[in-house]
Amino acid sequence: MIYDMTAFVGAYDRRPVGLEAEPLARLLGAWEVERAFAGRIDTLFFENGNGDDRPQAPARFERTTVEFVPVVDPTLPNCQDVLNAHFDANGRRLPMVRLHPAHHGYEVDDEAVLGPVIDWTHHHGVVLQVILALDDARRRHPANEVRDVPLESLAKLAKAFPQQRFLASGAVFGAVASLAKNKPLNLWADTGRIEAAAGLKRLFEAGWGERLVFASFAPILIVHSAVARILADLNDTDSSKVLRSNALELFAGD
């Protein structure tokens, strides 16, 4: 069974692909996804970036459980209140918090902005997920451009906070490969936008084998392509690491 670390619920501004929890679960369940971690993407397009302040319990539909990941904007004053509400509502267990620096307008290596959130996530044992990009820049209208966040900037932040576990989501092959020899031990990366030929195999050979986790980016990107890349590039043992085992290690903590 598969752990999908990066999925989305809610409306998306560029294409009519928005899904709520049940249709998302049915989409992913067809590909043996056991757990999908989904943040509300429509919160990116409200004035209050912490509009995601109504906690939701995990929702199970047939074989797939959708875990709702809070999306927060650390530049807004109610950020800690939102985090506390989600933590309390999840029985004091919250697996992950999601950030969108590009949409919310701050630099990912700005310790003054992110320090209080990282203090909170570290104290509560929560993974901090940073969305570096949602889709390919070639699909965006020039007047609706949102810059990609550099992976190397997130790596710099991870080195400054070595006790916090970070998940980089949406990095492309070249960025992940260039970090192979100098990646922080507390940084994982997902497969959502790693599309280079034999890219996953090459990343395993470069030393990323224990730090890659599966991401479909559903419903923005195509689920069967995300799964097919892994099965085409990797043997059964390595596929199992990406599809499930590495995610369990990420959540296991120290």
Distances (CA, A) of 245 to 100, 237, 249, 250, 252: 26, 10, 6, 9, 11
DSSP-assigned letter for residue 186: T
What is the token pair recorded at 175? 């960025």
Supply the pLDDT for residue 15: 56
Q: Given the structure tokens 């800690």, which residue do they identify?
A: 80
Block means of pLDDT (10 residues each) for the chain, 254 residues, are: 90 66 92 94 69 72 92 90 85 86 92 95 96 74 74 96 97 95 96 92 96 94 93 96 96 72
Supply the pLDDT for residue 178: 96
Tell me the C-alpha distance between 135 and 148, whole Å.
9
Angle between helices 111-124 and 151-160 (to 10 degrees): 60
Based on its alpha-carbon atoms, the radius of gyration of the chain, rounded to whole angstroms, reads: 17
Tell me the C-alpha distance between 138 and 140, whole Å.
6
CATH of the domain at 145: 3.20.20.140
Supply the pLDDT for residue 134: 84
Contact (CB, 8 A) for 40 and 10: yes
Tell me the C-alpha distance between 4 and 226, whole Å.
10
Decide: pTM greater than 0.75: yes
Instruction: Compute the Cα dihedral for 23, 48, 91, 210 and give only its sign.
Output: positive
Q: Which domain holds residue 42?
A: 2-252
Report which secondary-structure segment, H or E, holds 170. Answer: none
Domains: count for the chain: 1
Supply the pLDDT for residue 144: 62
- Three-state DSSP state, 73: coil
